[in-house]
Structure 1
Amino acid sequence: MDLLNVSRLAVVQSRHVSSKYVKPHPRPFNRRLYEAALKPEMPEQVKEGCISNFEWQRRYEQHLYEYTPIEYALVDKVKEYIREEKFRVFSICQLLSTKQRPLHFTKNALRLKGLEYKTYPSRIMSKVFEGTPFDVLNSLYLDHYSCLLFGRDINAVKTIVTETKKIPYMYPLVITYDDKVLSLEQIEELSTVSDPDQLRAQTVQILQTIPQQLVSTLSHPAQHLTSLLSNIPK
């Protein structure tokens, strides 16, 4: 009985070797399996280092001037949209901060007036009109602070001027028609005309009267000379 008691005490004492002893636990099986599968694909040693100033400048210029395939696709999409809708009037407007709800109502109201409200990044619009007379407008594209209004005829110029006066957070910076950038005097003149088609009719009427006046002006000296010669006595 004494031997049994001694052995039992020895076993009990061996369990309390140290209260700070941490038994090693192996990592989970899924983690070991993941590392075993990923290790052939990972480099043996990851090199960390600072890039040079020249390399940083090169990356910055690459990000600034080069376009990604997604941006090229968006540029083609915008060009195709302008051609399909046959837009002839284009305006860049300054857009102040406002809530989305009134802005959504404004978009619908402009659409009912024949204007299309769009917002695109400045890089995209600069690429869309690259090589056109609208290259000079690149400085007016401001991300999050500008919007674009498109119209299909000359009447849209007057609509843009009159409608933006009713909107306190939208102001037109420039308006174009076909390949021309309209001046402020031309915009004000077109906005005061009741019907821009009347200008076209007046122009056609003036051009039609020019040949008649030219013929009468050229024929008058000949008729006068003929009358003078007929009055000379023989």
Structure 2
Amino acid sequence: MEFNSDLYLVPTPIGNLEDITIRAIEVLKNVDLILAEDTRTTGVLLKHFDIKNNLKSYHIHNEHQQVESIAEQIAEGKKIALVSDAGTPGISDPGFLLVRECIKKDIKVECLPGATAFVPALVNSGLPCDRFVFEGFLPQKKGRHSRLEALKEETRTMIFYESPHRIAKALNQFTEYFGEDRQVSVSRELTKLYEENARGTLTEVIDHFGDKKVKGEIVIVLAGK
């Protein structure tokens, strides 16, 4: 394939491996190096599509140490792809620092179109999706109260990511700030066999999950004021 860029941000499936694009496969086959958030997770994807390429670990705990070195490698002629475990790099995943460094060095960066979890969750929520705000993961401790307080007057649809073992706590906390009758949609296991979308008021969705042990990545779509 012909390369027109030096750094490629390659979205990977959020669940169903068949959701990857043909172009993404071609890029992953032909770059000099793939930077992966978790090489084991990406290794499963590469094996599924018979992609044999060099993998290097690049995640939130080492990106500050690696970003300049990687940008220098690209400047010297290497073609590199960056992937996260699922979805589009940079969206609640590593990517921003490397993109910024490459732009500083006048390195051409290209983001391929593809999967990201919040888009299907938003579209199938039944809540207004013409204007929305993406909040990603809320702070777990410091700053959480002030963030939620600031969002109390938000009129746009709000989107949050949450881990399965904290979903009950998050929804109950939302009732304190937004009211128990606020409309919400909770999506989990998107694109997978056991995909679930629970919709209703905060109280209804809390009752729906009850004491169940929830599995899978979670997207919360909350109505604006």
TM-score of Structure 1 vs Structure 2, range by shorter chain: under 0.3
TM-score, normalisation: structure 1: 0.24
TM-score, normalisation: structure 2: 0.25
Larger Rg, first or second structure (1 or 2):
1
